[in-house]
Amino acid sequence: MRGHADAILAGIGLDRGAPGPLYRQLTAQLRGLIDSGRLPAGTRLPASRALAEGLGISRTTALQAIDQLAAEGYLDGRPGSGTFVAALTPAPAAGGSAVAGQAVAPPAEPSGAGQPFHPGVPDAAAFPARAWARHLQAAWRAPATGLLTMQHAAGQPELRAAIASHLRSFRGLDCGPANVLVTGGIRDALALVGQALLPAGAPVAVEDPGFPPLRTALQAQGRPVLPCPVDGDGLRVADLATRAAGTCALTVTPSRHYPLGATMPLPRRIALLDWAGATGAWILEDDYDSEFRYAGQPVPPLAALDRAGRVLYLGSFSKVMFPSLRLGYLVADGDTVARLATARPRHSDPPSAVPQPALAAFIDSGGFARHLRRMRRLYQARQAAFLSAFHAALSPWLVAAPAPAGMHLVAHRGPALPARMTDLQLSALAASFGLSVPPLSACYAALPAGAGARARPFGLVFGYAGVAEPVAARFLQRLAAAIAGDCAAPGSL
Amino acid sequence: MRGHADAILAGIGLDRGAPGPLYRQLTAQLRGLIDSGRLPAGTRLPASRALAEGLGISRTTALQAIDQLAAEGYLDGRPGSGTFVAALTPAPAAGGSAVAGQAVAPPAEPSGAGQPFHPGVPDAAAFPARAWARHLQAAWRAPATGLLTMQHAAGQPELRAAIASHLRSFRGLDCGPANVLVTGGIRDALALVGQALLPAGAPVAVEDPGFPPLRTALQAQGRPVLPCPVDGDGLRVADLATRAAGTCALTVTPSRHYPLGATMPLPRRIALLDWAGATGAWILEDDYDSEFRYAGQPVPPLAALDRAGRVLYLGSFSKVMFPSLRLGYLVADGDTVARLATARPRHSDPPSAVPQPALAAFIDSGGFARHLRRMRRLYQARQAAFLSAFHAALSPWLVAAPAPAGMHLVAHRGPALPARMTDLQLSALAASFGLSVPPLSACYAALPAGAGARARPFGLVFGYAGVAEPVAARFLQRLAAAIAGDCAAPGSL
């Protein structure tokens, strides 16, 4: 016991000259010791008096920190036996998602993909790893020479065929293998299109709000991006004439707008295709979240309606298989695919062949479609459980409504949240204990001019799909406690 | 029999108005029917008289075509029973390399990597596929959540560690995991360096001659390339002051120059590092073919001598594992690696995680080092056999000398080759029956000014490593017959 207390005291260094109340420093440092594993679950904390003496602080300060951490779920009080570090992270053997085990992102992992609620992360525990490993072994134990030596700039032929077949059944796309180019993901597709099809430096229109990495990737190509507004029916096509004049391409998420979730109605889709036909611009259709629809009628993708050959249909296996797979696809007319495949070797290496025949076999065997059905049921149930836990924990401060599709929800401002609090601040508060809930305002390329805190967009994007229900509930309670603590503290946030 | 003859006649259409002798058209079309598999091995050809009648040509023309194809190895005459399509391609069950089975490159495969003698292609039949498949299955049957969900911009931590350990032992590099960034290959590395470290549009110096895809990739970034001459000791460092003034980076192959094979001596390496230190330019060291040295002392890489942190050391697993793996590495100081890893998500998708833990386990188990040793012995023996077959078949027209390292040889002009013949023409002749032997002159960014055929560089790059000895001998004989036929034909080439 004494050893633990020493470790705790040795791990804390308080700076009395720093601004803000001292208990906040102590809270943050204890939280860090727990998050980093240096204070494992079950560790008994010194009594508040001992803590205060050891650190040279008042007992009130020690008690404030302990109370705050208990409210956040970091500490458990056991009557008659003291205060202990709570077992928040379920042991891997206990089943369920192990996502909390990654709360501390490793170096060179800037995306937050390992942190709970990071949008777009599927439930890794539900992935059929044994079947996947079997397909990998079967594909590579006696490979044809060509599998080892050929570098197919458009992807392995069997995977192109499997993707085409899947998209014909699931999305009604009239496509064959020659229409499919295998990509390393959405950024790889954007880079290839930018290099091979679009004039250097020509602007590209994007949805506003939209998916920030997409905007960043286009800007990294040295292109101006033209933000185009969005309403309850998705991208405002009528505004393109003014907002997207002179653009060579447009990125759009008509199935389910990211992050707000609108589905673009059919008349607007037709108008969008007409616009592309008239201007000659390419439409980069990101068929985001089309795999997981829980209610309502699916609307056909733009690519299925396109008669003028202006649509490049983009999809990814990151969310429906797993993010580190890094495989996706671009579907277009055969000439465009051939043009992109011919250009690729000048610019970039094609994706590794290693996962490609295994993914093709997984699709062809029916295992992929079964996995999609299982995940659809799982995520639908998980959304309901998430919303119930969310309301229970956070309803005075944040509100969220059910969504008919996808893997994330956007939480909006609730009545009790002080008007001065921005979504950036709340996102940073959540990040301080390891959650990745990106602020909606960061999805905007152009914030309303002269926007004060009130006019500024407010929202937090919660990816609920990858976090098992009990873990999600604990994290939501912890977030609620942190918000309550900050609302109550003078001069906080 | 009659059915075959019909198929042959139906597959041929001669244009009497086209320039050149008619038998050349017939030869090319029959060759095409055989290459495409429409005339399979063992098919009996109609007698020359029947062929002539069916096509409305002279019997002499039919005989000339049959003789030429027999000399090229496409046809076998069996005394007393007629002429048959030869079984050039070994059946896969017969063992050995199946590389000839890929003589016809599929669409969207512009690189020629599937064709015999394409440089840089290893022997796929000797790859330990069962061990590789076992490592894949072991890595993926029960993956940690992080393996599925984390996208490591610098590569999977275990692979970075395995690569660092391998390079410490094999190349004397003083490096750890933090110095290694996993890439998707050399173009991926170049793209990342170009985006994250080099000023946009700034020139990069390259060896002249050099590896053409490297030059193309830099030009595709919108950069001027500055060709710098090479002599028997590799890149002429003394010329950099004039040739590479104002460059922000230089690509160089000091271990073994591509394609000419020079190894840069130590004093010149020191001078090159001094130049980089004085100018602040990055040195992109492509440690080409360092794994396969058959004679002579290995010289330490520039990266092992670098004190100023100007060297980015590039390597690839394409030739030592298999080309479609698409994994390589960049080694640099930790700050530079962190800078590249931070920049990557803005520009491109990282390589798939799928092969990474399997490759790490293959390296850590010692299997990779064993594979390298086996391949070194195999390729050394194969080079000797190749040279012997090459001399026997081609010595009047082409000459080639042994090389102390690597997987390719450069053939030069022999005494009997007409002076008017360029390496471009010979390379095209070889390509007409499915061989990929790139011309040396295409490796030059800048050909000597006003160069006639005599002053023009001449060479053919033969990648011998991936072609089993008997297959290589047959192809070399076929090439010799084609050269002889073209030398003899009036107005040929």
Contact between A355 and B351 using a beta-carbon 8 Å cutoff: no
Q: Which residue of chain A is at minimal alpha-carbon distance from B147? A: A324
**Nearest CA among A360, A298, A302 for reference residue A332:** A302
What backbone torsions phi and psi does residue B435 show, to the nearest 5 degrees?
Answer: -95, 145
Task: Please name the residues between 404 and 423 in chain A that touch chain B, using a CB distance below 8 Å.
Answer: none
Strands A180-183 and A82-85: unpaired
* pLDDT tens digits along B131-145: 999 999 999 999 998
Both tokens of B30, joined, read 């029959």
Place of tokens 């240096």: A38
Q: What is the pLDDT of residue A274?
A: 97
Categorize the per-residue pLDDT at B105 as very low, low, confident or very high, splitting at 50, 70 and 90: very low
Categorize the per-residue pLDDT at B55 as very low, low, confident or very high, splitting at 50, 70 and 90: confident
Testing the interface with B: which of A190, A214, A354 to mutate, by most B Cβ within 10 A?
A354
Enter the DSSP assignment of A44.
Answer: B
Mean pLDDT of B323-347: 95
Based on DSSP, count helices (H) and strands (E) in chain A, helices before strands.
17, 13
Which among A137, A145, A146 is the nearest to B136, CB-wise? Answer: A137
Q: What angle do CA B100, B387, B441 make, to 5 degrees?
A: 80
- Sequence letter at residue A393: A
Assign A459 to helix, strand or coil: coil
Dihedral sign from CA coordinates of A47, A53, A58, A62:
negative
- What is the spatial distance between Cα A71 and Cα A82, in angstroms, rounded to a whole number? 16
* pLDDT tens digits along B437-472: 999 999 998 776 655 555 789 999 999 999 999 999
Which among B132, B145, B324 is the nearest to A151, CB-wise? Answer: B324
Place of tokens 């850590």: B364
Q: How far is CA B322 from CA B127, B316, B325, in A?
A: 8, 10, 6
Q: What residues in B contact A358, CB-CB < 8 Å?
A: 354
What backbone torsions phi and psi does residue B433 show, to the nearest 5 degrees?
Answer: -120, 30
Q: What residues in B contact A125, CB-CB < 8 Å?
A: 145
**Burial label, B257 (beta-carbon count in 10 A; 0-12, 13-18, 19+):** buried
Chain-wide mean pLDDT for chain B?
A: 87
What backbone torsions phi and psi does residue B204 show, to the nearest 5 degrees?
Answer: -125, 135
* pLDDT tens digits along A277-306: 999 999 999 998 888 999 887 788 999 999
Residue B127 contacts A where some CB pair is shorter than 8 Å:
yes
Q: What angle do CA B365, B366, B370 make, to 5 degrees?
A: 145
Mean pLDDT of B246-251: 97
Strands B311-316 and B282-286: parallel
Residue A248 contacts B where some CB pair is shorter than 8 Å:
no
DSSP class per residue in B164-204: HHHHHHHH-----GGGEEEESSHHHHHHHHHHHTSPTT--E
Q: How far is CA A69 from CA A9, A73, A84, A163, A380, in A?
A: 17, 6, 11, 49, 32
Contact between A114 and B186 using a beta-carbon 8 Å cutoff: no
Q: How far is CA B30 from CA A492, B75, B76, B471, in A?
A: 84, 10, 14, 21
Q: What is the pLDDT of residue B4?
A: 59
Higher pLDDT, B83 or A164: A164
Q: What residues in B contact A220, CB-CB < 8 Å?
A: 195, 346-347
Q: What residues in A contact B122, CB-CB < 8 Å?
A: 149
Dihedral of CA atoms A179, A177, A132, A405 in degrees, nearest 10, equals 40
Q: List A398's β-bridge partners, or say none.
A: A413
- What is the spatial distance between Cα A111 and Cα A98, in angstroms, rounded to a whole number? 18
Q: List A405's β-bridge partners, or say none.
A: A293
Q: Which residue of chain B is at minimal alpha-carbon distance from A184? A: B349
Testing the interface with A: which of B104, B130, B151 to mutate, by most A Cβ within 10 A?
B151
**Rg of chain A in Å (alpha carbons):** 25
Question: Residue ranges of chain A with pLDDT lower than 50?
Answer: 1-3, 89-110, 492-493
Contact between B184 and A184 using a beta-carbon 8 Å cutoff: yes
- Do residues A278 and A250 touch, judged by C-beta distance below 8 A? no
Which among A99, A107, A183 is the nearest to B145, CB-wise? Answer: A99
Q: How far is CA B116 from CA A61, A145, A257, in A?
A: 77, 12, 49
Place of tokens 């720093």: A18
Strands A249-252 and A204-208: parallel
CB half-sphere exposure, B198, CA atoms < 13 A: 30
Strands B311-316 and B328-331: antiparallel
- What is the spatial distance between Cα A112 and Cα A105, in angstroms, rounded to a whole number? 7
Q: List A409's β-bridge partners, or say none.
A: A462
Count Cβ atoms below 10 Å from residue A111 Cβ, excluding itself. Answer: 18
Q: Residue A357: is the preceding peptide bond cis (ω within 30°)?
A: no
Enter the DSSP assignment of B176.
Answer: -
Give the range among A230-239, B287-296, B418-427 with minimum mean pLDDT: B287-296
DSSP class per residue in B194-245: HHHTSPTT--EEEEES--HHHHHHHHHTT--EEEEEEETTEE-GGGHHHHTT
Count Cβ atoms below 10 Å from residue A196 Cβ, excluding itself. Answer: 17
Q: How far is CA B340 from CA A177, B273, B336, B391, in A?
A: 35, 22, 6, 48
- Residues in chain A, overall count: 493
Q: What is the pLDDT of residue B229?
A: 96
Q: What is the pLDDT of residue B80?
A: 63
- Do residues B168 and B177 touch, judged by C-beta distance below 8 A? no
Q: Which residue of chain A is at minimal alpha-carbon distance from B215? A: A346
Q: What is the pLDDT of residue B1?
A: 39
Q: What is the pLDDT of residue A72?
A: 61
- What is the spatial distance between Cα A40 and Cα A32, in angstroms, rounded to a whole number? 11
pLDDT higher than 70, residue B3: no
Q: What is the pLDDT of residue B95?
A: 29
Which among B107, B140, B342 is the nearest to A136, CB-wise? Answer: B140
